[in-house]
Amino acid sequence: MPLELIPGLKKKDLYGSVYHFIREQCGLKISSFHRTIRAVAATEEEAERLDTKPGSPLLELTQIGFLDSGTAFEYSVSRNVGDRFELHNVTLA
């Protein structure tokens, strides 16, 4: 998250809801998140950190969050052990 877009963000704010901070403290409107999910194999380092075996299936989640101005404010990539990961998604029509 670019700190120039999210002024005043401190490490302590990351332990709560950072999205609440962005909306309530910064007065910004979050418009969308674009997510890509794909299967990948765990590297040796990932396997050690995630308590799984090298080559085990992981689900990689890449996310870009956008403000209502169209500015991207977040980019994240996480890798999750496949049998310990759930994604709940709601699509409004």
The total number of structural domains in the chain stands at 1
pLDDT score of 89? 81
CATH number at residue 56: 3.40.1410.10
In a domain, 3, yes or no: no
Single out the residue of 10, 15, 29 nearest to residue 73, CA to CA. Answer: 29
Q: Which residues are CB-neighbours of 51 under 8 A, at least 6 positions away?
A: 81
Residue 77 sits in which domain range?
31-83
In a domain, 75, yes or no: yes
**Percent of residues, the chain, with pLDDT higher than 90:** 61
pLDDT score of 48? 97
In a domain, 60, yes or no: yes
- Rounded to two decimals, the pTM is 0.78
1, pLDDT greater than 90: no
Single out the residue of 83, 89, 85 nearest to residue 34, CA to CA. Answer: 89
Question: Rounded to whole angstroms, how far apart are CA atoms 54 and 48?
Answer: 8
Q: Which residues are CB-neighbours of 40 under 8 A, at least 6 positions away?
A: 57, 58, 59, 60, 79
Higher pLDDT, 88 or 45: 45
